[in-house]
Each structure stands twice: as C-alpha cells, then as structure tokens.
Amino acid sequence: MKMREMRMREMKRPPILLIALFAPMLQAQGLDPSALTLFHQPKDVWPTYNGDYSGRRFSELDQINQSTVDLLKIEWMYRLNVGPQRGVGGPTIKSTPLLVNGILYFTIPDHIFAINARTGEHLWQYDFEDKGGHLVGQRGVGMYGDWLYFISPDGWFISVNAKDGKERWKKKIADEKLQYFTTMAPLIVKNHIIVGVGGDAMDVRGYLESRDPETGELQWRWYTTPEKMGDPGSETWPNLEAMHHGGGMTWLPGTYDPDLNLLYWGTGNANPVFAGQGRKGSNLWTASIVALNPDTGKLAWYFQASPHDTHDWDNVETPVLFDATINGQPRKLLGQAARAGWFFVLDRTNGKNLVSKPFAGTGNWALGVDARGQPIPNPEKEPKVNGAMIDMPAMGATNWPPPSYDPQTELFYFNGTTGYGVAYLYDTSDKPEGYGGGGGGNFDSHSALFAMDIRTGVIKWKHEHGGEGGSGMSGGVLTTAGKLLFTGDSGQLVAFDPATGKPLWRQQLTQAVSNGPSSWMLDGKQYLIVGAGDTLYALTLTRKK
C-alpha cells in the first residue's frame, strides 16, 4: 500500500528478553493505580480489558470526531507470525490491548506481545506451550505495578515482567483434563487479581477466584453453584450431584464499582447443557449476573437472566455500569444485553430490576417475567427430540464481543443476531451427561448493531450488517466524545453516528474486526486501535493534502 503515514510491522521471531535497542523506552514500566477508575481514565492509558472498571467502553477523547473522521488513516499495522493454532487455524486477536507508558500489551492463546504504541515496533514476546486447553480465544492481560498477568488455555495463571516478558511464576488454577479451559483477561481490583474459568462437556462446576498479585496464591474462591444442600440457592437444584456438576462458567471479565466495593460478573449456562430433566429448578447461580465483595468473595445479590437454562445461553456478556436519572432520581445502574435475547437494566446497589425487554424476536422462550423481572421459561420451548422452534437464533442472540454505553446519547450498543432457531434433545435419560442435545436449523438470520434505550428497553435504532453471514460476530463496540461509534460491518471498520445509526466513514481491513476497539492519546495525537484477524491496526488523523 502506497501510504506515507502507514508502516507495516510484520513480527519476526525474537528472543524472550527485550532487544537492547528498546531498553531506554522501557523504563518506569509500572501501571499507576490511579489509572484504574470507574469512569474517566487518563487520556494516555488503557489499563484494563474494558478501559475502566465500568465496562462502558466510552472514550472521552474527541480529536477524532464527526468533522475530522474523514481524515482517519492507518498509521501502522502489526501482523502476527506464529503459524496456525491447534484446532482453530490461523491466530485471531480477540484481546483488547492494554496501553501503559507508551507500550501496548495484547494476547492470543499461548502468547503475549509487547509493542511500541507509537510505531508498532515489536519489543518482546512471551510464548507458552499449553498441554491441551481449548484455543478458542484469549481476551488479554491484566496489569498490577510492573507485572502482567495472563491465563493459559490449560489453566495456568502466569505472571511476567512487563519490562521484558520474563516469567516470574505460574500457578495452576484449572484442570484441563476435566475440560476446563481459560480465555479471560484478569481484572485487577486493589490487591486482588480476579480470574475466572471456562468449561466444556464434562459437567464441571464453575468458579471465580481472587489471587495474590505478589505470590499468585489463592485468596478466595466463589463457586457458581452452592456447596451443599441446605445452603442458599441449593433449593433450586434437585440434589447434590446435579449441583456439583452444574456448570456456570465465568469466562469473560466482569466490572467493578469502587464506591460500592462490588464486583459484577456474568455466569455461564447450566450443565448438562441442553438436557435439563436431571436438574429441575432454576439452577442458581448459573446464567446470572452476580454481585460479589472483592475482598471476601461473598455474594451480595444476583439476577438470573435465563433460569433453568437449556439452550447454551452463557450469561457472561459484560455487565456495564453507568449512572443516569430515571423519573427524576439519580440511579447507579447496570445494563446487560444477554445471550438469551433480552436486555436488562438493574439498580447495581441491590440488583433490583428496572428493565426486562427482549431484543431478538418476542422472547417467546419465556412466558413473561416474574416479580424480580427474570424471564419465566416456557416448557414448550425447551429442547425436544423432534425440535422446538424459538424466535431467536438457537445459539444465542449475542456473544462475547464487548458492548458500549454512551453517556452523551444515553444509549446502550452491542452487536447481535436475529432470526429463528430449533433446539433438539438427544439424551432423554434421567441422568443425562454432557450436552444432551443441540441447537441448529437457524433461519432468516441477520447480524445487526443495536442501540437500546436504557429507560425502556426499546430499540432506538438498528443497523443490519451486510456480508456477516448472520453471525453477529462483528467485533466489539467503542463510543467516543467525538460523537462516533466504531465497530465492524461487512469486513470493514466503520464509524457510525451513535445518535442515529448513520454510517459516516469506512476503512477496509484485511479481515473482519475481531476484538473490541479502543482509543487513547499520545503526544497530542489520538489513536484508534483495532484487531482484525491476525493483524493489529493503529489509525490516526492525517492532514489534508
């Protein structure tokens, strides 16, 4: 490409130790704890997976705005060169890079990369050889002081030096032989490194845990199903065996309110996945949003988005925190676009429901909502041997790509999918195992960008993506004070007007957007960073010729 502003940096295989050429740039590596805030992070840092504790993915920068976006061009590209990944083909960047002291840190399964944020120059790389974990994705690293924290696919919690990528220690947190696998970016809260786990078909139990940043030792562990019969929540399970094989994985990063000192986390589907006859009841605390004390792991409140889930609808989608006035009263709120096809708004101080509204079809897998605002499952829409049709995609209406909340428009944005699906039951025994069924037969699927009214749950506007195959996987969403919304569309990076949904600008990339975009400023210049397949892109404004 003949573009004066763009520099292509294709990675070559370097040693683990930092190349001496870049040593002067890597002094004072540490992350200032003051950068970790609920809202309003510093301009020159992106210190967590979501940018701040809220999960809003809203940038207060406005150098790139509706008047200047036409001048946005690729500044540099950084392409991975690690070869095919076991079981998944080519590498894909799903992590959102951290930016600290002018350096970007990002991941794919088994690898951490550090590059110069201004130029895309490679600084160092950390490689890990896993022993059998699933390589379905990796969301990124967490940072505490001078240290980075990473989770390998097969359940190793690893600390490396941010200066050179040298391994500090590693601790085992999940057993891949039980088909646990780990994909999340650790969340740093005070002196706690919060990590979660994923799982597959072995009907294992989910958990969230806190680790010491200095030693990696366990501080607390909270299980997503109760410990024993008689404990709170155990009444929603038929017996101890079902409860201890009940699933509820915690594989995406959560959010945190420092003022309330509460963690907010999404939990995964119940197990066996599609065959629910052996676990009658609502199966707490699977498919839920939970609020936990980060110092103790104690549960403060919960809200179940898909009670007795039988459709593989992980409820791990980001619980986004924002403040707004409703009926004249300032409220501390939490919003989530759930994989089950419903949009929820809760009071984050106590979990009280304010909005429950389907966004994919009519939400006909539910008969309505209960007194808590939780959907009531419709038995006729549970998986059946001959299939049961629902008016949303069988595998869910949204997934892991991060959403955004814009305080200027007071709208909640996410990429999702509409259509129809069929859920099947294969295992009709009293004690089913594994999946026990499946979802398929998706019809009339359409991928779309949704803008939701937080007070009513009404779809303010919707932009249907072209050429996405109805997958809804158009990457994450970023909104900015420049009155722009960035996300993927038809294999391109696109800027929309967040108030109306009108496309304003497009940039063709080599592959479709595959992560959550981010933005920050260095040397007075605003950067937009986005991953697309095996390539990381940095875009900045250029002068008119």
Catalytic residue positions, numbered: 312
Could you tell me the two tokens for 248? 């509820």
DSSP secondary structure letter of residue 176? G
> Measured between alpha carbons, how far is 2 from 351 in angstroms, rounded to an integer?
54
Closest to 226 (Cα-Cα) out of 159, 282, 143: 282
Which residue type does 466 have?
G
Q: Can you read off the two tokens belonging to residue 86? A: 């076991």
Rounded-to-integer distance, Cα 403 and Cα 183, Å:
18
Specify burial of residue 62 (Cβ count, 10 A radius: 0-12, 13-18, 19+): middle
Distant-in-sequence contacts of 169-172, Cβ < 8 A, 24+ apart: 169/215, 169/216, 170/216, 171/211, 171/216, 171/217
CA-to-CA distance for 472 and 395, rounded, in angstroms?
Answer: 11
Residues 6+ away with beta carbon under 8 Å from 514? 92, 93, 94, 475, 488, 531, 532, 533
Scored b (16 or more CB within 10 A) or e, 197-225 reads: bbbbeebbbbbbbbbebeebeebbebbbb
Longest dimension (CA), the chain: 73
- CA 318, distance to chain mean position in Å, is 6
Taking the alpha carbons at both ends of the chain, their separation in whole angstroms is: 18
Distance CA 342, CA 354 (A): 13
Distance from C-alpha of 129 to C-alpha of 111, rounded to nearest angstrom: 9
Name the E strands within 237-298: 255-257, 262-266, 288-292
Which DSSP category does 205 fall into?
Answer: B
Question: Rounded CA gap, 534 and 308, in Å?
Answer: 38
Answer whether the bond into residue 520 is a cis peptide, omega within 30°: no
Q: How far is CA 163 from the centre of its chain?
A: 27
Contact 230, 251 (CB under 8 A): no
CB of 413 closer than 8 Å to CB of 399: no
